[in-house]
Amino acid sequence: MKVRLSAWIEWLGDQFWLRPALVVLGCLVLAQLAVWLETAQVAGYDASSPDQNWGYSGGAEGARALLSAVASSTIGVAGTTFSITIAALTLASGQMGPRLLRNFTRDARNQLVLGIFLGTFAYALMVLRTVRTVQESPFVPHLAISGAIALALVSIATLVWFVHHIATSINVESVVDVVHRDLCEAVETRTRDAADATRPSELPTGAGVAASGAGYLQAMDTEDLADWAHEHKVTVVLRVRPGDYVPSAFPVAFLSAGVEDAEGAISRALTFGRRLASLQDLEYSIRQLVEIAVRALSPGINDPLTAGSVVDHLGDALCRVASRHLPTGAVVREGRVVLVHPVTDYDGLCDAMFHMIRQNAAGSVHVLARVLDVLTRVAEVERLTDRVAELARHADLVIAAARRDVADPDDLADLQERYRRFQDTANGLVTVSNANVDGKARTGAASLRTSPAMP
């Protein structure tokens, strides 16, 4: 239930109308409160008295003109703001990919700007309806009109800030940095300080159990499902993970033994949606960054510098993973593995990061060189030989693509030199790692050999 609630909250964040609606509602309440304070004269305060009024002190006709000006101007600016937002979304969709539109629509700052303009308009209308002239039993809510003036000044400042924010947010480097922060947060959340339990050697392969839902798997409640499996003394093996598309009637799990209401328990643990979600998908932000790089490498855009920047940010994420442990997908209850579910391993991370970029960077010496440099830097940070071997596999694929597609001999020689530097780094780390397993004496010697020279 907690995971389903988290998915619902994330869905609410995608609704562009929610925050503006809340701001408008708040301004309506504020208008009613300001008018009530005018009539209640709390603590003896009388806004109509020249001695006590520090805000608007004009008459009814001036109040109506002022409120009309505030309402008409703010609704016009709100329309302009909406047009600017649509133009920014169109630019982002064409240059960086339609899947990045979610980052713009989820931006609370864009939503609050629109809400402030619409809220000021609604506030002015609510106060305007209470202003009465002499012929109508005169009433001028001075305090509420002063609030309208204050909201109008806030709207002016908001407009200036919004133009600056839009101009910087549609910059591709800003978008890459925002997605990179999401990726770093996902790495911190979806990895572990210590290794998880290992998978059992034999997994059940009996009759499959289908879930009642279909679509993209956005989240799964592994803890509740593990508790259910432990209670019924079975082992559940899920076949899908967050980010997978699950068709209708597809068997998403195997059970070690038949259990009543197994389909209901699995359906309650899985949350499906019409689109991908970042809630539990470690590769979600990776795919967004890769899409930016692939579009930058397209002939229509031809921006290898952006692709190189994406590769640098992906390398930073791998360096953060170096000191962490990826989950194995096994959930243990009382010493017994009760649930096994697919997870992203290190090989999958590297494949998601580099395959599409390498395939679309054929002949781009700059991008291929950046990939080799990033792999070398990650190899210097990484201490696990199996991970270094995976980095070496991608370096081999990069140099093979360079030998196939780079025609200039000097460019190819430069790439081969970078590849040799990677090999020297990787081979040195593997040698040290092998030496570490031979004993404490050799471990100390290896540490001395690999420690950087102190100044």
DSSP one-letter string for 300-346: TT--HHHHHHHHHHHHHHHHHHHTSB---SEEEETTEEEEE-----H
Highest mean pLDDT of the ranges 42-56, 405-419, 433-447: 405-419
Q: Per DSSP, what are the bridge partners of residue 237? A: 254, 340
Kind and range of the H or E element at 216?
A: strand 215-220
**What percentage of the chain reaches a pLDDT higher than 70?**
88
- Give the per-residue pLDDT at 279: 85
Kind and range of the H or E element at 204?
A: none
- Give the per-residue pLDDT at 15: 83
216 contacts 245 by C-beta, under 8 angstroms:
yes
Instruction: Please write down the HEC assignment for all residues of 87-150.
Output: HHHHHHHHHHCHHHHHHHHCCHHHHHHHHHHHHHHHHHHHHHCCCECHHHCCECCHHHHHHHHH
**What percentage of the chain reaches a pLDDT higher than 90?**
50
- Give the per-residue pLDDT at 136: 64
Q: How confident is the model at residue 80 (pLDDT cuts 50, 70, 90)?
A: confident
Lowest mean pLDDT among 93-107, 288-302, 440-454: 440-454
The more confidently predicted of residues 211 and 445 is 211
Helix (H, G, I), strand (E, B) or coil at 396: helix
- Give the per-residue pLDDT at 157: 95
Average pLDDT, the chain: 85
Residues 297-306: tens digit of each pLDDT: 988 888 999 9
Highest mean pLDDT of the ranges 35-49, 88-102, 362-376: 362-376
- Give the per-residue pLDDT at 95: 74
Name residues whose C-beta falls within 8 Å of residue 325's C-beta, 6 or more positions apart in sequence: 191, 192, 193, 194, 195, 196
CB atoms within 10 A of CB 381: 14
CB atoms within 10 A of CB 202: 8
The residue whose two tokens read 């990045």 is 100
Q: How confident is the model at residue 55 (pLDDT cuts 50, 70, 90)?
A: low
Lowest mean pLDDT among 47-56, 102-111, 118-127, 166-175: 47-56
Residues 253-277: tens digit of each pLDDT: 999 888 888 899 999 999 998 888 8
Measured distance CA(168)–CA(171) in Å, rounded? 5
Residues 6-37: tens digit of each pLDDT: 777 777 777 888 999 999 999 999 999 988 88
Sheet holding 251-255, edge to edge: 208-210, 251-255, 236-238, 336-340, 330-333
The more confidently predicted of residues 301 and 123 is 123
- Give the per-residue pLDDT at 450: 36
Measured distance CA(208)–CA(236) in Å, rounded? 10
357 contacts 367 by C-beta, under 8 angstroms:
yes
38 contacts 47 by C-beta, under 8 angstroms:
yes
Helix (H, G, I), strand (E, B) or coil at 236: strand
- Give the per-residue pLDDT at 446: 37
Tell me the two tokens of residue 447.
Answer: 């540490």
Q: How many helices (H) and strands (E) does the chain have?
A: 16, 8
For residue 352, CA distances in Å to 66, 289, 358 come to 58, 10, 11
The residue whose two tokens read 């609604």 is 122
Tell me the two tokens of residue 130.
Answer: 């209470």
Contacts 24+ apart (CB under 8 A), 191-194: 191/321, 191/324, 191/325, 191/326, 191/327, 192/324, 192/325, 192/326, 192/327, 193/324, 193/325, 194/325
Residues 350-373: tens digit of each pLDDT: 999 999 999 999 889 999 999 999
Can you give the C-alpha Rg of the chain in angstroms? 30
Nearest to 311 by CA among 356, 270, 276, 275: 356
- Give the per-residue pLDDT at 444: 40
Average pLDDT over residues 102-131: 89
- Give the per-residue pLDDT at 365: 94
Measured distance CA(343)–CA(278) in Å, rounded? 14
Q: Per DSSP, what are the bridge partners of residue 305? A: none
Residues 423-453: tens digit of each pLDDT: 999 887 656 555 554 444 343 433 333 333 3
CB atoms within 10 A of CB 318: 23
- CA dihedral defined by 43, 46, 52, 55, rounded to 10 degrees? 120
Helix (H, G, I), strand (E, B) or coil at 244: coil
Lowest mean pLDDT among 157-166, 400-409, 434-443: 434-443
pLDDT at 290 over 90: yes
Q: How confident is the model at residue 41 (pLDDT cuts 50, 70, 90)?
A: low
The more confidently predicted of residues 185 and 44 is 185
pLDDT at 49 over 80: no
Altogether, the residues listed in the chain come to a count of: 455
